[in-house]
């Protein structure tokens, strides 16, 4: 049987990505990221090869791991192989394993979540040890953009069968199969795309970013997701208040253009749904299908109250994947309902250990990004890094706000956003380290300071003159 051309092209690209990872592990990182967005298992062009039973992302991760071991001598992680945050990732996986025995008992969904999170953690640890220079970090950012461009395109071309109750569903992989999850992803990517637009100077790349932003806004509108819109509005307000001053005017201008463009995409049905945002906390304000397909109503606050009672009875958690299994005992009118809150889901399923580790990771990441932004203030040659740190922080804040009304704890994108600051930090450290030999060979200036070239070619002092700011200190240095 002759395979479709699209299938053949996919197999060729997949083979190049996996085999290329053995020589250049970054190929494996990019392949894994793009597979996450494309999710071949749900596409027409992968059905002719479904008989292979291929777990595409798992195979890509295996090739990435093999490539990492084969290229161990190229390691760019510096003197500290294990970052404290990476250790917490491993501890969190341990908490998930423990919950199998301390909860109400293992479940098929729990094993499924655990299998996924072990794979995600292995990939994240590989990514933070492979993406350790500026070029590879930028490649990863662009991989996220291309993946979101793909989601935006298939959202734009989606047929009537992709809509349920007027909302876009069943787009991409399991992390995007419902409107709220897809909407939160689109909302979180907009700050990242926006900061890349601010920093980019090549017109053709700016065009790609602009098209991606437009399709992302369109997809967000099609989901009609109140959680995502609330997160985006809160994220925009936070971004305007936190953006480095030199970028504030351009960011506000870009945001206004985006708001006008997004408004042009809306319709009456969109605004009717947005008008119900205040009622989402009420007792009977939203719809949900239980496992039998029956539509039931629920409110988020009653769900969270029931989850709190569940945790009081099970302080070590009910076990990974068991929230929907147990919630009916505490809220009989809401059987098999989701937690609709990332933190609540973590607390209820993994207990005090899981929530403590998760919150520690959040505090560590946000603190690192804030420290990075402040340390780079006044460093002209590193201004792009400050904008990168801000973009990551804005994307993560938007994602977390969306996660307050949508459960995103087992979403891969969350853990990528939490891991990318490690990649950025190591990329900066390696860039500065490579500049050191040139700095030592440079001539001493008339003021007695030895100049060195910055990342963008401008000069910076290795030791500051009296009265000036101290040299850059990276987190953990």
Q: Are strands 163-164 and 167-168 parallel, antiparallel or unpaired?
A: antiparallel
Task: Please give the pLDDT value at position 293.
Answer: 44
Task: Please give the pLDDT value at position 420.
Answer: 95
Task: Please give the pLDDT value at position 381.
Answer: 62
Map residue 474 onto helix, strand or coil. coil
Answer whether 30's CB lies under 8 Å from 143's CB: yes
Task: Please give the pLDDT value at position 292.
Answer: 44
pLDDT in tens, 143-154: 999 999 999 999
pLDDT in tens, 213-235: 999 999 999 998 888 888 998 88
Position with higher pLDDT, 249 vs 15: 15
Question: Residue 50 — very low, low, confident or very high, per pLDDT cuts 50/70/90?
Answer: confident
Task: Please give the pLDDT value at position 460.
Answer: 41
pLDDT in tens, 386-431: 788 888 999 999 999 999 989 999 999 999 999 999 999 888 888 7
Task: Please give the pLDDT value at position 280.
Answer: 54
pLDDT in tens, 64-84: 999 999 998 887 776 778 889
Burial of 1 (0-12, 13-18, 19+ CB in 10 A): exposed
Position with higher pLDDT, 134 vs 100: 100
Highest average pLDDT, of 79-83, 177-181, 266-270, 299-303, comes from 177-181
Its sign, for the CA torsion 240, 246, 247, 252, is positive
Check whether 285 has a pLDDT greater than 50: no
Mean pLDDT, rounded, for 175-183: 89
pLDDT in tens, 88-109: 999 999 999 999 999 999 999 9
Compute φ and ψ for 451, nearest 5 degrees: -80, 155
CA angle centred on 194, ends 385 and 175, rounded to 5°? 100
Task: Please give the pLDDT value at position 250.
Answer: 81
Q: What is the mean pLDDT of the chain?
A: 84
Compute φ and ψ for 55, nearest 5 degrees: -100, 90
**Taking Cα atoms as reference points, which of 443, 439, 434 lies closest to residue 460?**
439
pLDDT in tens, 296-329: 445 788 889 999 999 999 999 999 999 999 998 9
Question: Residue 445 — very low, low, confident or very high, per pLDDT cuts 50/70/90?
Answer: low
Q: In the 8-state DSSP scheme, what is residue 424?
A: H
Compute φ and ψ for 33, nearest 5 degrees: -60, -45
Q: Which pTM does this prediction carry? A: 0.85
Answer whether 146's CB lies under 8 Å from 192's CB: no
Q: How far is CA 201 from CA 68, 90, 175, 204, 206, in A?
A: 33, 39, 33, 9, 7
């Amino acid at each position: 049987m002759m395979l479709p051309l699209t299938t053949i092209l996919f197999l060729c690209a997949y083979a190049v990505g996996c085999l290329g990872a053995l020589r250049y592990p970054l190929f494996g990182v990019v392949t894994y990221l793009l597979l996450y967005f494309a999710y071949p298992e749900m596409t027409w062009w992968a059905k002719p090869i479904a008989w292979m039973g291929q777990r595409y992302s798992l195979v890509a991760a295996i090739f990435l791991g093999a490539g990492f071991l084969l290229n161990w001598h190229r390691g760019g992680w510096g003197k500290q192989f294990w970052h404290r945050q990476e250790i917490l990732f491993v501890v969190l996986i341990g908490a998930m394993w423990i919950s199998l025995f301390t909860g109400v008992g293992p479940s098929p969904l729990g094993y499924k979540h655990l299998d996924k999170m072990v794979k995600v953690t292995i990939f994240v640890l590989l990514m933070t040890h492979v993406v350790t220079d500026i070029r590879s970090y930028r490649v990863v950012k662009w991989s996220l953009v291309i993946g979101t461009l793909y989601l935006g395109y298939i959202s734009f071309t989606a047929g009537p069968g992709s809509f349920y109750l007027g909302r876009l569903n069943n787009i991409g992989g399991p992390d995007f199969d419902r409107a709220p999850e897809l909407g939160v992803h689109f909302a979180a990517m907009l700050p990242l795309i926006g900061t890349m637009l601010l920093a980019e100077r090549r017109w053709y790349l700016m065009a790609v970013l602009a098209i991606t932003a437009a399709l992302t806004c369109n997809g967000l509108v099609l989901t009609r997701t109140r959680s995502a819109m609330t997160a985006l509005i809160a994220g925009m307000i936070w971004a305007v208040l936190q953006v480095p001053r030199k970028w504030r005017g351009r960011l506000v201008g870009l945001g206004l253009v985006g708001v006008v463009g997004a408004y042009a995409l809306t319709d009456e049905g969109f605004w009717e749904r947005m008008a119900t945002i205040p009622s989402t906390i009420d007792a009977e304000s939203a719809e949900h299908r239980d496992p039998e397909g029956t539509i039931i109503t629920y409110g988020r606050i009653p769900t969270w109250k029931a989850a709190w009672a569940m945790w009081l009875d099970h302080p070590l958690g009910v076990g990974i994947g068991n929230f929907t299994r147990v919630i009916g005992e505490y809220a009989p009118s809401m059987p098999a309902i989701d937690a609709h809150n990332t933190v609540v889901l973590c607390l209820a399923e993994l207990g005090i250990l899981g929530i403590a580790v998760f919150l520690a990771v959040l505090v560590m990441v946000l603190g690192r990004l804030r420290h990075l932004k402040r340390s780079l203030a006044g460093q002209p040659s590193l201004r792009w890094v400050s904008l990168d740190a801000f973009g990551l922080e804005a994307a993560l804040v938007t994602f977390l706000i969306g996660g307050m009304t949508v459960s995103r704890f087992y979403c891969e994108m969350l853990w990528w956003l939490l891991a990318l600051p490690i990649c950025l930090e190591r990329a900066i450290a390696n860039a500065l380290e490579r500049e050191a030999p040139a700095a030592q060979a440079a001539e001493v200036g008339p003021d007695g300071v030895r100049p060195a070239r910055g990342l963008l070619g401008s000069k910076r002092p290795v030791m500051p003159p009296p009265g000036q700011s101290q040299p850059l200190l990276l987190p953990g240095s």
